[in-house]
Chains A and B, each alone.
Chain A
Amino acid sequence: MENPVVDQGIIKRQLKGFVGFSNLPRQVHNKSIKKGFQFTVMVVGESGLGKSTLINTLFNTSIFPNKEVKELTTETPKTVDIQTITADIEENGVKLKLTIIDTPGFGDYVNNENSWQPILENIEARFDAYLEQENRVNRKRLIDTRVHACIYFIPPTGHCLRPIDIEFMSRLHHRVNLIPVIAKSDILSDEEIKDFKARILEDIAYHNIQIYQPPIYDNDDAETIQENKEIILSMPFCVVGSDKPFKVGNKNVRGRKYPWGIIEVDNPDHCDFVKLRQMLIRTHMEELKEYTNEVLYEKYRSQKLISSEVADSSDALNPLSQLDEERKKHELKMKKMEAEMKAVFDQKVHEKETKLKQSEDDLLTKYKEMKEKLELDRINLQERRRQAERGGRPGTPEKKGRKFFK
């Protein structure tokens, strides 16, 4: 029997039979798999902190090739470079287009002022590109190149955050999901890790830096909530990266072999790599993308549009005027194409004409030549005929010759 429960104006009804919309998640799943996923991660940190190795370890594939030995030189480069690598990886039929943005040169120079600037500009440029795509009239294909997460590598000093760390994180935390990790943490002991993490969190709170916090939903099951809480407590993660396998006992593990022991990357007792991977890939990838889209991007968008509105208010906010503009643009484009095609056509015609004229001239000359030749031949022949007539018997003007040969 129906038993409506009135709850905030929404009447919850009980179903009388099986409808089948519980199949919805599966439909979404199938659709997403067909579409494929994209994920963009940025790695920032000084050279030698194991960024490339960690990415290779996270995705179980060598996205970054081995570092080549740099030439010995007295020249010193001055700026931070931005390098993007895209990889298409597939697992169990699910395709992932993974983009990693590397920032070599960050923090490596004597003077690192404004080393955060190219990075921030890159992130904002990606937001701009997306904003522009969103504002187009034809939005069929939206390519999302926005940065979904930024992993910041902290060197394992064991003391506190350095000025460059604080500066970078303060400048970028409102534009990207910041995930700080303690790099090369295999040199820290348990106690040192605990103290270091506490001190880092203290510094972060003191400078009002917002790092990414995985959200906890009320209607998650207890296990997930517990997992999320553990993850939050372990941040910042102390990680170790390695793509070399070793034999420990009788199983193959990824790790680093020292004279005093082997540290296993995938062992949660040895380091927090497993938690980082869990958060980044297995559970919170969608969360990170959602947060980037709904919060960070929206903030950027409103800031940008408000400031541009203040600058020139008659700009393309009205969709009709946008439509007009697009139409005009399109027409212009068409006209240009037409003009181009006409020019090409004209040129081709001109070429053909010249060619034909050329061959006409050629033919004329040939004809003249042939005619001349023929003339010559004719004269020749006439000459020979005359000669022949003269020589054979005397020609008609000398008719008296005939009587002698009776």
Chain B
Amino acid sequence: MESGQQSPVIVQQAPESKKVALTGYVGFDTITRQIEKKLLKRGFTLNIMVVGQSGLGKSTMVNTLFASHLLDTKATQKASDPIRQTTEINTVSHIIEENGVRLRLSITDTPGFGDQINNENCWESIIKYIKDQYATYLRKELTPNRERRIADTRVHAVLYFIPPTGHSLKPIDIIVLKKLSDICNVIPVIAKSDSLTVEERIAFKKRIKEELAFHGIQLYPYDDVDTDDYSITEADRAEKALNQEMRELIPFAVVGSERNVVVDGKAVRGRKTRWGLVNIEDETHCEFPQLRNFLTRTHLQDLIETTGIVHYETFRTKQLVALKESTMSHSR
């Protein structure tokens, strides 16, 4: 009797799901352990870039963060070497292992940045490198026969080193921070912060935060990236609180050191001057422990994910739109 049109049922939204109680143990809670095992086998990849003028302790900081000698720290140029005219991009890869977890770490150094007398456009090679990594990944994603696991060379975090003038950000800092924060996660740090007393440090940070807000520079961690509609759990609240805490702390005032000094009978990493001893593990001396925890212990996975979800997608959208427009204009 019902001879209506048979409209094809296209499911636009997921059917509503109800919470159902289980009557017995099923065992799918072991999925986290299965994932972990798989991930452990695969290993993780982290790509970090360090940007800053020479002599700010970038290489030392990287070595300190990962407690291993990854980069050379002496001045690489001799007096007779010609001065670098452009910012070079040097990437070194290491595999470090801790408790069975393998991390493939790539550090990209940018020697020559901000070192010349005329530093106009010294940031171009950096921007180009970051975009190139996105482009490579996109190309690999778009090819018909793509690899099962695309090697991820995208830059997950950029550590930007601010010189400890104690006054305010320099024009070059503002320009580069703005350009970088548009395309990747930027974490600014105050380099060699043992040259600032506590009051100077507080005033400097306040000023930097004001300037960042004034110029509209958005830094990692971002607000509410994941707006999936599941209920706010305790864990989410804790995460939000942690993010807020980190936002208050940024930029981290750090000191780096590969050498050990003896404090209270223990050997800790620190710097010994003629008149005092800086213990970098001490939170009252500098904010290195906070930076290390932030980078490796709490937000490592989030950094990688945010790069994929936010920055890569932005790049991809722009590229595909541009591609579409160019093919349309060609076909006319």
Contacts and interface: CB of A to CB of B under 8 A. Distances in A.
B210 A111 contact: no
B159 to A, nearest CB: 17
Nearest to A203: B79
B172 interface: yes
A29 B120 CA distance: 55
B25 interface: no
Nearest to B257: A189
Interface stretch (B4-12, B100-108, B142-150, B278-286): B278-286
Contacts of A267: 275
Interface string A253-277: 0001111111110010110000000
B56 interface: yes
Contact of A110 (B119, B192, B215, B278): B119
A186 B119 contact: no
Nearest to B166: A48
A156 interface: yes
Interface string A329-368: 0000000000000000000000000000000000000000
A69 B195 CA distance: 20
A72 B214 contact: yes
Interface string B279-314: 100101100000000000000000000000000000
B117 A113 contact: yes
A245 to B, nearest CB: 14
A167 B117 contact: yes
A399 to B, nearest CB: 116
A260 B198 contact: no
B117 A156 contact: no
Nearest to A111: B118
Given A72-B210, A110-B172, A189-B272, A157 B54 contact: yes
A149 interface: no
A167 to B, nearest CB: 6
B55 A158 contact: yes
B243 interface: no
8 contacts: A49-B165, A108-B171, A111-B118, A111-B119, A112-B117, A156-B195, A157-B53, A187-B195
A199 interface: yes
Interface string A393-404: 000000000000
A239 to B, nearest CB: 13
Interface size class of B (residues with CB under 8 A): 35 or more
B118 A258 contact: no
A188 B192 CA distance: 10
A76 B55 contact: no
Contacts of B152: none
Interface of A: 46-49, 67, 69-70, 72, 74, 76, 108-113, 115, 155-160, 162-164, 167, 184, 186-190, 199, 202-203, 206-207, 256-264, 267, 269-270
A257 B275 CA distance: 11
Given A72-B211, A261-B275, A159 B75 contact: yes
Interface of B: 53-56, 74-75, 77, 79-80, 83, 115-120, 163-168, 170-172, 175, 192, 194-195, 197-198, 207, 210-211, 214-215, 271-279, 282, 284-285
A74 B75 contact: no
Contacts of B166: 48
Nearest to B83: A163
Given A164-B117, A258-B276, A261-B277, A110 B171 contact: yes
Contacts of A199: 75, 79
Nearest to A73: B214
Nearest to B168: A70
Contacts of A156: 55, 192, 195
Given A72-B211, A156-B195, A163-B116, A270 B55 contact: no
A259 B167 contact: no
A184 B118 CA distance: 25
Contact of B197 (A48, A258, A270): A258
Contacts of A69: 207
A206 B194 contact: no
Contacts of A108: 170-171
Nearest to A183: B195
B55 A155 contact: yes
B146 to A, nearest CB: 41
A160 B165 contact: no
